[in-house]
Each structure stands twice: as C-alpha cells, then as structure tokens.
Amino acid sequence: MNAPIPSAALTTGLSLHASLHTLAIEAWSRLRGTLEALGPLAETMDEGQVASYELAFVSAELHAMRAMLDYAGRCAEGPTPVLEERMALAFSADVITKVRQRFDRVRDAINLPGAPLIELFESAALRGFCREWLSPSSLAAVGSGILEAGQCGRSLLAEDKQIIAASFARVSAEVVAPLAERIHREDLTLPDELLSAIGEMGCFALSIPERFGGTAPESGHDNLAMVVVTEELSVGSLAAAGSPLTRPEIVARALMAGGYEPQQARWLPGIAEGKPLCAIAVTEPDCGSDVAAVRLRATRVDGGYVLNGAKTWCTFAGKAGLMLVLARTNPDPAAGHRGLSLFLLEKPTTEDHAFEFAMAGGGTLSGKAIPTLGYRGMHSYTLFFDNVFVPAENLVGGPGAEGKGFYLTMAGFAGGRLQTAARACGLMRAAYDAGARYAKERKVFGKALSEYQLTLAKLGLLGASLRACQEMTYHVAQLMDEGKGQMEASLVKLYACRAAENLTREALQIHGGMGYSEETPVSRYFVDARVLSIFEGAEETLALKVVARELLTNAKPL
C-alpha cells in the first residue's frame, strides 16, 4: 500500500501509525514471552486468550488505519482530496483511541511496560492529532461532506472494475432489492428469477477458470472482481444475493486444489452456470469452527463410501443439487485432521424447510431448516446422513485423495473470509444510505436530523469506517491475486464484520422507532449483520486460532 507524498497531517498520521505498529509488535513479543515462561508455546497459548483477542483486534484496526491513510494519499493524485483526507484523519484518530484502550486492558497481563505507552499516548503529537480530528466540528464537517458528495469518498478502482461494479449495481437495484424484503419477511427460499438473473451475469463462474466455462484467469483467481461483484449484490441483499456466490466458489476452489482434471471437467462447467446449485456440509453439532474434530463417518464399500452422521448450518442444503461433504475416512481419533476426506454428493432439490430423500445410490438424507434471526432466503439446515452412498469417483482430488479433506477444505475456504468482508461492505453501504436518507428527511424539533451536530458526527465516523473496510478489502483481494494475503484476509474479516454490526446499529438508531419496525429495510440490515462475525470463521476462532497463532508463532509484523 504505497502512497504518494501526503499532506503534513497525513504524514503525522502515518508517523503515529508506525509508532503504534511498533508497539503492537512489542506487545505480541511480550505475550509470547509470558506464555513461554509457562511452558512450550503450543501448550500454553490458551492461557493468553484474552490478551490474544485484544491484540488481534489491535492488528486489525491498525491495518484498517493504514489502508485509510494510504487511500487518502492516493486521492491526492487527483482533485483536491479534502473529504477523503478528512475522513482518513478522523478515522485514524478514532482508531488511536480504541487501540489505546486495548493496550491498557492487557498491558499488565503481558508485562508491557507503562513507559512506552505513556510516552506515545501522552505525546503532544498524538494528543494534538486526536484533539483536532476528533473535535465535534471536524467530525460534523466529515459527515456534512459525505452528505453533500452523496458518497463516502471517491472510488479508486480501475476502470474495468468500476464497469463491473456499475453492471452489478443495476442488477442489485432492479432485480434483488425489489424481492429482498419479501424473502426476508416471509422466510422464502430464493426464487428462480433472482438466481437466474445473477447466474446470467456470471456470478457462479467467478472462481472457475475460463477453460471450464468460468471467468477466472487460467493463472489464478480474480479476487478483486469477486469482491466487487459480491459487494454490489450485497447492497441489494446480504442473504439473497451476496451469499449465493460463496458456495460455488468454495466448491470450485476445492476442486481446483484437488488437481484431478477429469473431476474438474465433469463438474466445473455446470457449476459455472449455476446448474447445479451448491451447498457445503462441513460444520457439525458439536464441532463448530473446529473442522479437525469432524466425526461424520465415511466407510469404504464396493464402489464408494457410505456416509453416516450429522451436519449443521449447511446453508442452501434444500435447493442445492450438489453438496460438498467433509467426512472422516480414518476412524482413529489420533488421526485428527489427517483422517478427513472431502466428497461431492448429488442430491434432489427442494424449497421445503424440511425434507427426507431416499438417495439414488442408497440410504436416506434428511434435513430441517434452522429458524434464524436474520440472513433468510437460503436457509441453513441440520442434516442427517443414514447410510448415504457416494461413488468413489466423487472423492475430491480423485484416487489417492483420502486423508486430504482438511487441506482441500481450507483451500476451498481461502476466499471465504475475504468474500465475507465484501458482503459486510455491501450491507454497510445499504444501511449507511438508508440512515443518511432518513436523516435528511426526518424533522425533529423543527429541523432535519441531518442538521444536528451529533447526527453529522455519527455519519462522518460511520462513513469513514465504511470506506476503510472497502479499501482494506480491495487491497487484500489484490494481495490474494498475487498468492499472498491469507493473514490479511483474516484481519479484514475480523474488522469489517464488527464494523458492519456497529454501522447497522447506528443506522437503525437514526431511524428511531421506525428503525425497530419491520416496515423499514434498516431493521433487516441490523439482524443480517449479526451473522457476519459468526460464519466463515467465528470472530473468536479467527482471533485466537488464526491471527494470534500466526503472530505468536512467527512474530510476523503486519
């Protein structure tokens, strides 16, 4: 994220970021030393869960701060970036206040000396920076600037990506949005007209190479295009449009990682067209995010395997015709993740909230939709496999791929965290626009809400947070296109999903009583946002098992 030479204020922001980043590295080092004093790190890591959780968010927030400062710096190449610079500086000052609290909460637990904290956070440069850019007048000016511009800063996406964004924005507005409320309120399954519309636009083909009928380059994935499409569709509906892209992407990535060309040639062209639709069966009732603890059994029989056990939170399991199933082929508990294999299971389709199918190859597959607070339309099911037969040729990776299921699953989920951040961005845009519109229309005590300082200050910080999430997501997509960015994908997922919860809450609050009414879409945005920090890696799992493990083990600065 290299930026042109910035203004004096941006230079100060970047200098403060560098100091905070150095402090974060020291904090991770101190935590590692504290844990190693108790025993081997692999055995003591859980003793530092609270500190790890706080420091994971410090790393995510600092990554967002740097993304926003670099964005403002790049804006300097064009027209005078008054709004963008103000957004970046206000956002950075807000991050500084948050990470200070996190350092204060953990410093004693990790033996972090107080002197460096006092030296940095009580310095004239930091205090002056925060005083200026978090002042009520500065925040209100940012909010006013966003309302006047009609957007949270300008887009710096390349022209081809802006064309893609505009195309899918039309689909989102003309096809998705008119159906979204009814799908949510009546708890409907996604209608064929919606699925056909996004399928015809190539949504299911984004992670499939061109030689198999997809739109991804042969050399790898176009993660940035995927992010742009996902964001635009999520503006119309998180559940009904932003999320149907995820499942074919996971299946496609797993098949490509498996490297078995006959299997790829058989399945990928159809998946690219949305025929069949896909579902993923990985999570189990007692496992949650601990994929290695999967217990659904796959027992070898003549010609294939028989599946027995249960899965849960299997989204779209009713309407999908193809299911990716992670199962245990080695029953020895000591085998752990090395005893798992991945299968493709064909199944009948239904829009019913409960089903029981006598499978063509033998056995019974039954399922029941789980009632949820929000995120309706695709439905997540609990599934029961009773002697369900799956042919040997449906072992992902082909002959000899037994025991590789965990690794293929991780490859399949590689883009899931990034895509979830993009979904969060789209949902945030919808909520922000709704809040801004209502603030301009609603009059309280003789004037519009948007004329009050508090409303403007809220809109200023919320808009800056939205832009920070977008810029982080785009940057990580570019890193992943280069074969990097796995850690950064976890950070942007961690940050953007929490930010979406906060923004949708405040957008609802701006609506007052009408926001709590199901007559307004903002109530849907609020309940939909809550799932973001849970699926595709729960917040705690990401913080403790991905971010903390990486930064404690490898001491990798970000």
Instruction: Give domain limits for the chain.
Output: 8-149, 278-409
Are 147 and 432 in contact by the 8 Å Cβ rule? The answer is: no
User: Average pLDDT, stretch 204-225?
Assistant: 86
Res 7: pLDDT? 85
Q: Comparing 269-283, 403-417, 437-451, 538-552, which segment has the lowest mean pLDDT?
A: 403-417
Q: 449 pLDDT band (50/70/90 cuts)? A: very high
Q: By CB neighbour count within 10 A (0-12 exposed, 13-18 middle, 19+ buried), where does 59 fall?
A: buried
Q: Which of 524, 471, 517 is closest to 236 using CA atoms?
A: 524
Q: Which of 67, 99, 97 is closest to 84 using CA atoms?
A: 67
- β partners of residue 311: 383
Radius of gyration, CA atoms only, the chain? 24
| Chain-centroid distance, C-alpha 22 | 27
Joined together, the tokens standing for residue 146 give: 């966003």
- β partners of residue 323: 279, 345
Q: How far apart are the first and last CA of the chain?
A: 12
Q: Comparing 91-95, 246-250, 470-474, 524-528, which segment has the lowest mean pLDDT?
A: 246-250
- β partners of residue 443: 448
Rounded-to-integer distance, Cα 388 and Cα 60, Å: 43
Task: Give yes or no for residue 33 having a pLDDT over 90.
Answer: yes
Task: Give yes or no for residue 89 having a pLDDT over 90.
Answer: yes
Res 32: pLDDT? 95
Q: Which of 237, 243, 239, 236 is closest to 172 using CA atoms?
A: 236
- β partners of residue 300: 305
Rounded-to-integer distance, Cα 35 and Cα 456, Å: 45
* pLDDT tens digits for range 283-320: 988 765 566 678 899 999 999 999 999 999 999 999 99
Three-class DSSP category at 209 = strand
State phi, psi for 358 to the nearest 5 degrees. -85, 110
Active site residues: 536
Task: Give yes or no for residue 5 having a pLDDT over 70.
Answer: no
Joined together, the tokens standing for residue 514 give: 């009408």
Contacts 24+ apart (CB under 8 A), 539-544: 539/494, 539/497, 539/498, 540/53, 541/288, 541/289, 542/56, 542/417, 542/490, 542/493, 542/494, 543/52, 543/53, 543/56, 543/57, 543/494, 544/45, 544/46, 544/49, 544/52, 544/53, 544/56
In this structure, which topology does domain 8-149 adopt according to CATH?
Butyryl-CoA Dehydrogenase, subunit A; domain 3 (1.20.140)
Joined together, the tokens standing for residue 188 give: 């409907």
Residue 199 identity = G
Task: Give yes or no for residue 31 having a pLDDT over 60.
Answer: yes
Are 492 and 533 in contact by the 8 Å Cβ rule? The answer is: no
In this structure, which topology does domain 278-409 adopt according to CATH?
Butyryl-CoA Dehydrogenase, subunit A; domain 2 (2.40.110)
Res 206: pLDDT? 87
Task: Give yes or no for residue 3 having a pLDDT over 50.
Answer: no
Residues 34-52: b if buried by 16+ CB within 10 A, e if exposed: bbeeeeeeeebbeebeebb
Rounded-to-integer distance, Cα 401 and Cα 391, Å: 14
User: Average pLDDT, stretch 395-421?
Assistant: 89
Q: 1 pLDDT band (50/70/90 cuts)? A: very low
Q: Which of 442, 426, 440, 434 is closest to 506 using CA atoms?
A: 434
Residue bearing tokens 């979406």: 500
Residue 9: how many CB atoms within 10 A of its CB? 18
Residue 415 identity = G
User: Average pLDDT, stretch 177-192?
Assistant: 92
Joined together, the tokens standing for residue 134 give: 């978090």
List Cβ neighbours of 135 (8 Å cut-off, separation of 6 or more).
none
Three-class DSSP category at 190 = coil
